[in-house]
Structure 1
Amino acid sequence: MTVSELLTFFFPHLADVCIDRVFRAGRSVRIQARTGTSEAVCPSCGIMSGRVHSRYERRLSDSAIGGQETMIHLQVGRFFCSNEACGKQTFAEQVAGLTVRYGRRSVGLGAQLRAIALALGGRAGARLTHRLAAAVSRMTLIRMIRALPDPDHHAGPVVLGVDDFALRRGHTYGTVLIDMAASRPVDVLSERSADALAAWLGRHPGVQILCRDRAGAYADGAARGAPEAIQVADRWHMWRNLGEAVERTVAKHRACLRDLPSTVMDENHPPVPALADPGPASPQRRSGRLPERTRRRHAAVHDLIAQGHPLRAIARELGISRNTVRRFARASEPEELLVNDGTGRRRKTLDRYAPYLRQRWMQGCTNAEQLLGEIRAMGYRGGGTALRQ
């Protein structure tokens, strides 16, 4: 195999140029090459020209060779355009498969970087390019993605996913369309109406299966825009609808839970206690470094209070905040600050109303606002978020 054949086999993008020299500069491989053409086609009018204006050198980054960065120093010609009606007076020749207008990378390296950008994105892709000896920044990869042409979607996908999303939660909603076979977005509609979906399906025929939520607007739009398509509910909405149905059923038949026997017996299992109000658990004395420190501080605070010291002076003497001193002073026993329900957690304001709330729930009252008003009349000073949780 001759040298020219080897060059064509391993470096097909350099087969149409004359290589004058290959050398190393630092950690990179440099290739000096030139074009040997005497004619070139004008990119604007397409007319062949043989009038050479000048020659100049282009520097192109190329794919790595042997794990080393590669740079091509390419001498190309600039030609006069012989068409007087053409807007260009001169133009630079391009080498097929190697150069593009204003490009600073070879065609092969550009395709490789675009593939990395689409697969990994900005930061991860930039880290990989450094390992491939073709280093670019994350913003360069992002610009390459943005420069790609939008895919042609004249025909709709075979399996189309339809769902709404919030442009501004609670105010403005749109519709996102997904190609379920390719797992990628197809289009975004500015509204979630039946008319918008029907119009889109009319412009993009070919949808055979339409996967959507249970919204009536999407059902109507799909029936009008793609009457032959099969409409199915997606998996997430199926699980959500099932959960809501079970919750409604349990709430509707909650009265049946009060009729359960005190124990459930069978032949193979021991008795299982029925649902009941557990009530407050018996206090337990906590041990450890932090509980012991709390007890010492509680004793010190109450001793100083008994001596007539104000809270501000106590805080300075003990090196703790005034709010902490006030909390210690309000507790008659240190265990009030440590033991609440036997779990080690501090007692919440809502805990004292838990038996009443549990009783009202079993009576069928599940309206959080109504329950909040009732316990506030009993002295509750907290908010409604804890009650709903």
Structure 2
Amino acid sequence: MRIKTELELQSFYPSELEVANISHTDTEIHIKMFARSKNCTCPKCGIVSANRHGTYERKLQDLPILGKSTWLFVNAYEYQCDNPDCSITTFVETVNGFLGYYSRMTDRCADFICTLAMETSCEGCSRICRSMNLKISGDSVIRLLTKRFKLQEEAKCGSTIGVDDFAFKKRHTYGTIIVDEATHTPVAILDGRDGRTLKEWLAQNKHVKTVTRDRASAYAAAIQEILPDAMQVADRFHLHQNLLEAIKNTVNATVPVDVKIPEDYGREQQQAEPEECDGSKKNLGQCG
């Protein structure tokens, strides 16, 4: 006996969004929804506003359902900020973080894409998403990651940091990475390695007392200018590298590069070695 079942989609969405209509094709599912929120928080000043300005329809992409692309058509409200000093006049509701302020996809869909991109790559993530009927390009994945990175809070570090340079593109573009020595985690990535951006960062983090670095003069001058009382320590990697380079130069100066072997060296060795005696020799008297 076949049992007839139904799936209630309303339970998968916030209570502030009311499902009004569902339609589908062979490849897509369209869900018409109405927002029922009463207020919203301003993204600029954080003031909660209940002053509605108007409504408009938002088209957002959600996670696929049974392999079909899912699109939400949300009749959302625009709110007017009640703070007269705020630079934002109107803003759209987020429905308790389910929708972004200016995003074209739900936050849970963006979370999935970011997680997949961090485990694979932006282009690989785009190809996997397309096979799941989730429409996004590699460039859009990069923009999404960049946007979420800028929204993160600035990482805090202790009093001891490590500074080194790295290549965005070798022999073309370089940057500076700052690592917290206590947790061994990066706290900042700066443009360039001439010390200019490092000065700006150190000016905002004057609690730093110890800096481990390589022997680049640009970093040393920047630290000495901004934090003259900070202790500068040469890091272990560059100490080992400098030691090996000094040993190599000393050995090269002492030992000749080419060691010449005389041409008659092999012939003299053969003459010096006595021939072995066996039973096939006719003159056995010369043996022994």
| TM-score normalised per structure 2 | 0.62
**For the Cα contact (< 8 Å) 1:126–1:137, is it kept in 2?**
yes
**How many angstroms does 1:87 deviate by?**
9.1
**Pair 1:203-2:204 in alignment:** yes
**For the Cα contact (< 8 Å) 2:97–2:107, is it kept in 1?**
yes
1:49 counterpart (48, 51, 54): 51
Deviations 1:163-215 (A, max 9, x none): 4879997xx9987233262257522356248xx85674353145465332234
Deviations 1:46-86 (A, max 9, x none): 54236x85x5432211012334322122233467x697x79
Q: Which residue of 1 aligns with 2:260?
A: 276
**For the Cα contact (< 8 Å) 1:32–1:73, is it kept in 2?**
yes
Q: Which residue of 2 aligns with 1:159?
A: 161
**Pair 1:191-2:194 in alignment:** yes
Deviations 1:308-366 (A, max 9, x none): xxxxxxxxxxxxxxxxxxxxxxxxxxxxxxxxxxxxxxxxxxxxxxxxxxxxxxxxxxx
Q: Which residue of 1 aligns with 2:251?
A: 250
SS at match of 1:210: strand
Q: Which residue of 2 aligns with 1:14?
A: 14
**For the Cα contact (< 8 Å) 2:211–2:230, is it kept in 1?**
no
**How many angstroms does 1:152 deviate by?**
2.2
Aligned equivalents of 1:220, 1:92: Cα separation in 2: 48
Q: Which residue of 2 aligns with 1:135?
A: 135
Aligned equivalents of 1:197, 1:57: Cα separation in 2: 46
SS at match of 1:14: coil
Write the letter of the residue equivalent to 1:204.
N
SS at match of 1:130: helix
**Pair 1:108-2:108 in alignment:** yes
User: Matches of residues 232-243 of structure 1 in structure 2 within 5 Å?
Assistant: 232-235=234-237, 237-243=238-244
**Pair 1:182-2:182 in alignment:** no
**How many angstroms does 1:89 deviate by?**
8.7
Structure 2 vs 1, CA of residues 31 and 278 (structure 1 numbering), >3 Å: closer, same or farther?
A: farther
Structure index of larger Rg: 1
**For the Cα contact (< 8 Å) 1:166–1:173, is it kept in 2?**
yes
Structure 2 vs 1, CA of residues 233 and 35 (structure 1 numbering), >3 Å: closer, same or farther?
A: closer
Q: Which residue of 2 aligns with 1:58?
A: 58
Aligned equivalents of 2:24, 2:219: Cα separation in 1: 63
**For the Cα contact (< 8 Å) 2:157–2:187, is it kept in 1?**
no
**For the Cα contact (< 8 Å) 1:174–1:192, is it kept in 2?**
no
SS at match of 1:276: coil
Structure 2 vs 1, CA of residues 203 and 245 (structure 1 numbering), >3 Å: closer, same or farther?
A: same
SS at match of 1:127: helix
**How many angstroms does 1:127 deviate by?**
1.7
**For the Cα contact (< 8 Å) 1:97–1:108, is it kept in 2?**
no
| TM-score normalised per structure 1 | 0.49
Structure 2 vs 1, CA of residues 112 and 234 (structure 1 numbering), >3 Å: closer, same or farther?
A: farther
**How many angstroms does 1:138 deviate by?**
0.9
**How many angstroms does 1:160 deviate by?**
1.7
SS at match of 2:133: coil
**For the Cα contact (< 8 Å) 1:179–1:186, is it kept in 2?**
no
Structure 2 vs 1, CA of residues 88 and 157 (structure 1 numbering), >3 Å: closer, same or farther?
A: closer
Aligned equivalents of 2:41, 2:188: Cα separation in 1: 39
Q: Which residue of 2 aligns with 1:341?
A: none
Write the letter of the residue equivalent to 2:163.
G
**For the Cα contact (< 8 Å) 2:164–2:213, is it kept in 1?**
yes
Q: Which residue of 2 aligns with 1:25?
A: 25
Aligned equivalents of 1:252, 1:87: Cα separation in 2: 69
Give RMSD over aligned pairs.
Answer: 4.7
Count of aligned pairs: 248
Aligned equivalents of 1:16, 1:66: Cα separation in 2: 24
**For the Cα contact (< 8 Å) 2:117–2:141, is it kept in 1?**
yes
Greater helix share, structure number: 1
SS at match of 2:185: coil
**How many angstroms does 1:123 deviate by?**
1.4
Aligned equivalents of 1:210, 1:82: Cα separation in 2: 45
